[in-house]
Amino acid sequence: MKLGFCLFALLAGLASTGSELTATTVGTAAITQGCTISSFEASSLTCTALTSDYQAGFTTPSQAAFSGVYSVTGATATFSESGYASAGTFKGYVSESSVTGTYPIVGISGGPESGMIDILTFSDPSLNETAGSLILGLSLDSTTNVSGFGVDPTGSGEGLYAYAGPLLTGSGAIPYSVYDPTGSFSTEYTGLSIPFVWGDPVTFEILFAPIVEAACNSVANCSPTWNYSGPAYVNALDTAVLNSLNVYNANGNLVPSADWKVTSASGLDYTSTGIVPEPSSYAILALVLGVFALCHRAATGRKSV
């Protein structure tokens, strides 16, 4: 049952609500998704986004948070969730506890989602107007805790979900890569191939979602009610980061980063190792003050001559 009915139904819901970004949108979004209820008789998404934050562009990060009890007929659970998305950096936290279910409900899961969309144009004089492809990479780190899974009548499971690939459109399950971490967790995620034409714009999307599930593990012990005290949590606040852009020619050969240039609709500075951070306001202020000090010293020196 671990990472079973609830999580797959929840991911189908994430695809339909998505990160609130569209094909014409460049920016970030964060959503706390609430929960998915699953039963042996039917599996259906019963929770909508509880909080969401969309930001056009990348000047301000998107952040969303929810903490409280979610209750529907036959099930109740306490969730604490937060999601964060900025230029190439994604974070999430979810905790679930105090779960009660009434048969045929057998599971309840939830978690936040964060993501971004941007439009890139790759150029190489020797390859322009030919086919190419892009594969994005993310570093993933998290800490998880689950308690009691596999012990009837209840238990918990967790998952870390990542997607980087072509723009998602329509509804249906997101083609996430699924990680089932235990304790401290660190790995590299390789995204899907994104086809493009050299010299023409191409849109990509990144999504990141830590999710937990509490469930009844045995039909015999689900009826009439079951309980899970928890907590189960996934702490992915340290974090998912875009750390590679690998670009290929029509033959599938990697094109050296020194041979291509890339521009973005967002104005972000992309390289083969991710996004170059913009200088902070403090760094800019320090630079201005430093230049002012040098000019003042030079002027003072001239006056004393």
For tokens 């015999």, the residue is 220
Which pLDDT value is given to residue 189?
Answer: 94
**170 and 103 Cβ atoms separated by less than 8 Å:** no
**274 and 243 Cβ atoms separated by less than 8 Å:** yes
Q: What's the half-sphere exposure (Cβ side, CA atoms, 13 Å) at 82?
A: 9
CA gap 305, 302 in Å, rounded: 5
Q: How far apart are the first and last CA of the chain?
A: 84
Number of Cβ within a 10 Å radius of residue 184: 11
Q: Which residues contact 174 (CB under 8 A, 6 or more apart)?
A: 11, 14, 15, 161, 163, 168, 207
| Per-run averaged pLDDT (10 residues), the chain, 305 residues | 42 45 77 69 56 90 89 84 94 89 82 93 96 96 66 64 88 76 86 97 94 78 81 86 97 96 96 83 41 47 48
Structure token pair of residue 41: 């008789």
Helix (H, G, I), strand (E, B) or coil at 196: strand
Find residue 113's DSSP bridge partners: 31
Which pLDDT value is given to residue 86?
Answer: 95
Which pLDDT value is given to residue 17?
Answer: 42
Structural domain spans, the chain:
5-276
Which pLDDT value is given to residue 170?
Answer: 67
Which pLDDT value is given to residue 151?
Answer: 42
CA gap 1, 70 in Å, rounded: 22
Nearest to 37 by CA among 82, 74, 83: 74
Distances (CA, A) of 301 to 256, 282, 297, 298: 50, 28, 6, 5
- List the beta strands (DSSP E) in 45-128: 51-56, 62-72, 75-86, 89-102, 105-110, 112-123
Find residue 223's DSSP bridge partners: none
